[in-house]
Amino acid sequence: MKKIFIAILLLPLCLMAQTKKPTSTSVANLGHAIQISLKPYQNTKVYIGTNYGNNKVLADSCVLNEMSEGIFQSKEKLTPGIYFVVSPKMSILFDFLVDDKQQFKISADTLDLKNISITGSKDNELFQNYSKSINDLFVQLNAIENNYKTAKNEKDSASFKEAYLTKDKEIKDKRKSFITANPNSMMSFLLNTMQVPDAPAIPIVNGKADSLYPYRYVKDHYWDNIVFNDNRLVRTPFFEKKLDDYFKNYVSREPDSVIEEVQYMLTVAKTGKEIYPFLLFKFTNKYISPEFMGQDKVFLHIYQNFFAKGDTVLLNEASKKSLRDRAYSLMANQLGLPAPILVLNDVEDKRFALYNINAPFTFIAFWDPTCSHCKVEIPKLDSMYKASWKALNIKVVSVNINAKELTSWKSFIKDHKLEGWINGYQTDEDLNREIKEGKPTTIRQLYDVYKTPTFYLLDKNKKIIAKNLSIEQFNDFIQSTIKKSN
């Protein structure tokens, strides 16, 4: 199965070679003008890069002269955030910050990268000073952690644990003090973005422990001091991971819970030129082929509330069509909806209708007799049916979606003794009549059959209750559903 991926190019690579130092007048008219002295490189191209979520991209380049000097410049401003200098061989040398003031100078020697000088940028001053002091504390913390592994008894362990907690608190206090002293700095923004609230102790309410309180507290404060229309979020290496952790650990997998979070973030982010398309396409790619059953409803919500309302200017025609086709293929087969009508011919070309089948559960298998994966999964389905489902009066409706292979289909049914199943296919005449009558959808689209085999489980009223699971997962779902109803 090929996963649909909607991609967007947001950050073109600027190749603006400059060998002469511009005058102060020309620098003042530029969106960004970052002078660099990078020894020992001479007469070679170097780059600056940045983050686009979890990915790293190039943002600009310049050619160093015989004195190892050059300038990254453009009439356009860079999006503020964390940037890094990249060598001619494409290795990252060191980080620096870009804020709204984008005219400063970097001096560095690759043989001594611990002593980088950045002048003309208050934020980089703060960044360097904070980084040096906090790095020293982390070295001390790691040393305590390593010593903890050598503990010989409980007393040693307790001592190391106390030392670790003390040092950890010192780090957190230093971070808080920095933010308090420099609330509007780029470094404070980065620290707030990185930070995840500590879970408080479990409180006792009316004599009972409220075990969910730490979870609720962290969830409620997870995004404190973060506004989702801030473009700088995209230019950090930790925002996207923090976002992924949030949806993994603090958001219910129920589609409606995910939709609530996604809707809020996209609505707030809409005024952000870079963060909005970043989040829009991240969520689209995540839920167009979701990890968990039923979460394709999230993609449908995104399509109907954002793309269908005009947020497609950044897409080419092929991407627009892919999104539209995928959305239309999911609209009729969401969990909880009545299954689309199926009227088919059986192996003897007698007509039958899905809604005339009486059963507590109906399992529909769409497959192709020429599909190699189907040749493995369909016999596995039959084994499950004979071992368990048949006794539960579960009906299996097997649908051949390749009407050109009727002989192979019938031979497969006979050879594998698929007995007790209701086997059917749609005739070319029925398909052509539907097309002639102007019906906008086919069986493939109504049931989202873009891969084979595709499975659905219906309840006694023919409502869709499960889809796109493995045979074993379907069986677990059935057993769990029966257990709950008893």
Query: Do the bridges between strand 395-400 and strand 362-367 make them parallel or antiparallel, or are there none, so unpaired?
Result: parallel
Please report whether residue 155 resides in a domain. Answer: yes
What CATH number did the domain enclosing 59 receive?
2.60.40.180
The residues, any chain, with a CB within 8 Å of residue 393's CB and separated by 6 or more, are 359, 360
For residues 175 and 143, membership in a common domain is answered with yes
- What is the C-alpha separation between 140 and 179, in angstroms, rounded? 22
- What is the C-alpha separation between 149 and 305, in angstroms, rounded? 53
For residues 213 and 320, membership in a common domain is answered with yes
pLDDT under 70: residue ranges of the chain:
1-29, 312, 438-441
Please report whether residue 432 resides in a domain. Answer: yes
Please report whether residue 14 resides in a domain. Answer: no
Please report whether residue 338 resides in a domain. Answer: no
| Residue 16 · residue 74 · CB < 8 Å | yes
For residues 99 and 130, membership in a common domain is answered with no
Find the domain containing 453 and state its range: 343-485
| Residue 439 · residue 340 · CB < 8 Å | no
Please report whether residue 377 resides in a domain. Answer: yes
Looking at 59, 87, 120, the residue that finishes a domain is 120
Position 432 scores a pLDDT of 81
Residue 198 C-alpha from the chain's centroid: 24
Looking at 278, 306, 330, the residue that finishes a domain is 330
Looking at 330, 364, 382, the residue that finishes a domain is 330
Please report whether residue 225 resides in a domain. Answer: yes
* Main-chain dihedrals φ then ψ at residue 338, nearest 5 degrees: -65, 140
For residues 391 and 440, membership in a common domain is answered with yes
For residues 316 and 409, membership in a common domain is answered with no
Please report whether residue 369 resides in a domain. Answer: yes
- What is the C-alpha separation between 214 and 169, in angstroms, rounded? 19
Provide the CB-side half-sphere exposure for 365 (13 A, CA).
26
What CATH number did the domain enclosing 421 receive?
3.40.30.10
Please report whether residue 255 resides in a domain. Answer: yes
For residues 452 and 362, membership in a common domain is answered with yes
- Report which of 71, 53, 52 is spatially closest to residue 61, judged by C-alpha positions: 71
| Residue 94 · residue 102 · CB < 8 Å | no
- Report which of 155, 45, 126 is spatially closest to residue 89, judged by C-alpha positions: 45
Domain count, the chain: 4
- What is the C-alpha separation between 2 and 4, in angstroms, rounded? 6
- pTM score of the predicted model: 0.85
For residues 306 and 416, membership in a common domain is answered with no
